[in-house]
Amino acid sequence: MSRQLDSLGVSAFCESMGMMIRSGINTEEALSLLLSGSKEKHGPLEQGLELMKAHIEQGEGLSKAMEASGIFPRYALQMAEAGESSGRLEDTMFRLASYYRDQKTISEKLRNAAAYPAAMMALIIAVLAAMIFMVLPVFSKVYSSMTGSLASSSYSYVRWAYVICWVALAVMIVLAALLIWGLRAWNGNGKKSVEGLLRKIPVCAEILNTMGMFRFTSALSTFLASGEMQDEAMKKSIPMADYGPLEEALNKCADRMAEGHSIAQAAYDEELFEPVYGRMLLAGERSGSMESVLERLTALLEENCGSLVDRLVGTVDPLLSGILMVTVGLSLLSVMLPLIGMMNSVV
Is 320 a residue whose pLDDT tops 50?
Answer: yes
Whether 78 maps to a domain, the answer reads no
**Whether residues 296 and 347 fall in one domain:** yes
Closest of 104, 133, 83 to residue 10, by C-alpha: 104
**Whether residues 117 and 256 fall in one domain:** yes
Is 146 a residue whose pLDDT tops 70?
Answer: no
**Whether residues 180 and 314 fall in one domain:** yes
What pLDDT digit, counting tens, does each position of 48-92 carry?
Answer: 888 888 888 888 888 888 888 888 888 888 888 878 877 788 888
Whether 159 maps to a domain, the answer reads yes
Whether 88 maps to a domain, the answer reads no
Whether 293 maps to a domain, the answer reads yes
**Whether residues 64 and 188 fall in one domain:** no
**Whether residues 311 and 216 fall in one domain:** yes
pLDDT at 150: 45
Q: Which helix (H) or strand (E) holds 260?
A: none
Whether 89 maps to a domain, the answer reads no
pLDDT at 200: 84
pLDDT at 339: 65
Domain of residue 46, residue span: 7-72
Check residue 134 and report its DSSP letter.
I
pLDDT at 275: 82
**Whether residues 175 and 213 fall in one domain:** yes
* SS3 per residue for 295-318: HHHHHHHHHHHHHHHHHHHHHHHH
Is 154 a residue whose pLDDT tops 60?
Answer: no
**Whether residues 237 and 174 fall in one domain:** yes
pLDDT at 1: 47
Is 192 a residue whose pLDDT tops 50?
Answer: yes
**Whether residues 64 and 111 fall in one domain:** no
Q: Residue 198: how many CB atoms within 10 A of its CB?
A: 15
Whether 83 maps to a domain, the answer reads no
What pLDDT digit, counting tens, does each position of 118-136 carry?
Answer: 888 888 888 888 888 888 7
Whether 291 maps to a domain, the answer reads yes
Task: Give me the CATH number covering residue 299.
Answer: 1.20.81.30
**Whether residues 175 and 324 fall in one domain:** yes
Comparing 45-49, 275-279, 327-331, 335-339, the range with the smallest average pLDDT is: 335-339
Q: Which of 19, 39, 72 is the last residue of a domain?
A: 72
Q: How many domains does the chain have?
A: 2
Number of residues that this document lists for the chain: 347
**Whether residues 221 and 301 fall in one domain:** yes
Contact 277, 267 (CB under 8 A): no
* C-alpha to C-alpha distance for 125 and 170, rounded to whole angstroms: 9
Query: Distance of CA 322 to CAs 26, 71, 175, 288, 340, Å?
Result: 61, 46, 15, 53, 25
What does the pLDDT average to over 252-260? Answer: 87
Mean pLDDT across the chain, nearest whole number?
80
Whether 60 maps to a domain, the answer reads yes
**Whether residues 35 and 145 fall in one domain:** no
CA angle 78, 82, 83 (to 5 degrees): 115
Closest of 95, 68, 67, 71 to residue 81, by C-alpha: 67
**Whether residues 112 and 33 fall in one domain:** no
First to last CA, the chain: 81
pTM of the model: 0.72
pLDDT at 118: 82
Is 212 a residue whose pLDDT tops 80?
Answer: yes
User: Confidence class of residue 263 from pLDDT cuts 50, 70 and 90?
Assistant: confident
Q: Which of 37, 72, 107 is the last residue of a domain?
A: 72
Contact 212, 273 (CB under 8 A): no
